[in-house]
């Protein structure tokens, strides 16, 4: 499903965290948001998720204005640090949550949960509670939970940051697989890791100080950075 941000502006008190963002992510497309810390990447993602309310602008999913729709009713998969696991539910029940909410048949829920836990290498932790897991393990469960419902829109906020290199490579493979399995999924991927952005994204959007500075197909952005800022950011120590 297509995601559209139209002139989306977000303030936290006096801080303008996002200024007039216009961005369309087509069905089947992955757009990575890259940029320095504090440039508004997470805020953009949270606005689409519905965790923060824009002071101006509209958000549409599949053409429907969802600006005033609560997060749980937007039908999207979200992995952000703030959207933690349900602490009172076991790992398997966390992953099953969205499927049960969608009233999927019991056998399908069981199968899908097993499949997702296997994917993130957490099968042996199915009966544990989130507090019994490390940060990286919780992140893996959060990814399994988000993907379980095969969401038409997936928002990922630096989802691999807490994972070690091998697991990061595995999860990147899984995300690429998801793109093949759900060809219509629109993914917004916030990352500080250029290699991840290149591996996954069709287009890369570069943010700076609450604004979008450049957006281009990933290869083009590297071959011919459209601005001096993007050239120096991509060439930097990141």
Regarding 86 and contact with ligand ADP (CB under 6 A), the answer is no
The residue written with tokens 């469960």 in the block is 141
Binding mask 30-49 toward ligand ADP (x if CB under 6 A, else -) reads -----x-xxxxxxx------
Give the integer Cα–Cα distance in Å for 171 and 140: 9
**Rounded to the nearest 10 degrees, how much is the dihedral formed by the CA atoms of 107, 110, 116, 121?**
-140
Give the integer Cα–Cα distance in Å for 211 and 232: 17
Q: For ligand ADP, which residue of 7, 15, 72, 173 counts as binding (CB under 6 A)? A: 15
Q: How far is the CB of 121 from ligand ADP (least distance, A)?
A: 27
Q: What's the DSSP call for residue 125?
A: G
Regarding 151 and contact with ligand ADP (CB under 6 A), the answer is no
Query: Structure tokens of 19?
Result: 């200024």
Report 165-184 residues binding ligand ADP (CB under 6 A). none
**Residues binding ligand ADP: what is the number (CB under 6 A)?**
11
Report 180-219 residues binding ligand ADP (CB under 6 A). none
Give the integer Cα–Cα distance in Å for 126 and 236: 41
Contact residues toward ligand ADP (CB under 6 A) are 12, 15, 17, 35, 37-43
């Amino acid at each position: 499903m297509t995601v559209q941000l139209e002139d989306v502006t977000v303030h936290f008190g006096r801080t303008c965290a996002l200024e007039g963002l216009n961005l369309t992510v087509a069905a089947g497309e992955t757009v990575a948001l890259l940029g320095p810390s504090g440039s508004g990447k997470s805020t953009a993602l949270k606005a689409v998720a519905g965790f923060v309310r824009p002071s101006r602008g509209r958000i549409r999913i599949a053409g429907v204005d969802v600006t005033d729709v609560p997060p749980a009713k937007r039908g999207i998969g979200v992995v952000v640090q703030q959207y933690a696991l349900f602490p009172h539910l076991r790992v398997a029940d966390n992953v099953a949550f969205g499927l049960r909410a969608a009233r999927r048949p019991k056998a399908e829920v069981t199968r899908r949960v097993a499949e997702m836990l296997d994917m993130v290498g957490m099968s042996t932790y199915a009966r544990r509670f989130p507090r019994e897991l490390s940060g990286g393990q919780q992140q893996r469960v959060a990814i399994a939970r988000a993907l379980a419902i095969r969401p038409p829109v997936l928002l990922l906020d630096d989802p691999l940051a807490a994972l070690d290199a091998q697991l990061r490579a595995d999860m990147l493979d899984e995300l690429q697989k998801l793109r093949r399995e759900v060809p219509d999924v629109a993914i917004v991927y916030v990352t500080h890791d250029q290699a991840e952005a290149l591996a996954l994204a069709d287009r890369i959007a570069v943010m700076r100080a609450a604004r979008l500075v450049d957006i281009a197909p990933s290869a083009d952005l590297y071959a011919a950075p459209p601005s001096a800022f993007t050239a120096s950011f991509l060439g930097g120590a990141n």
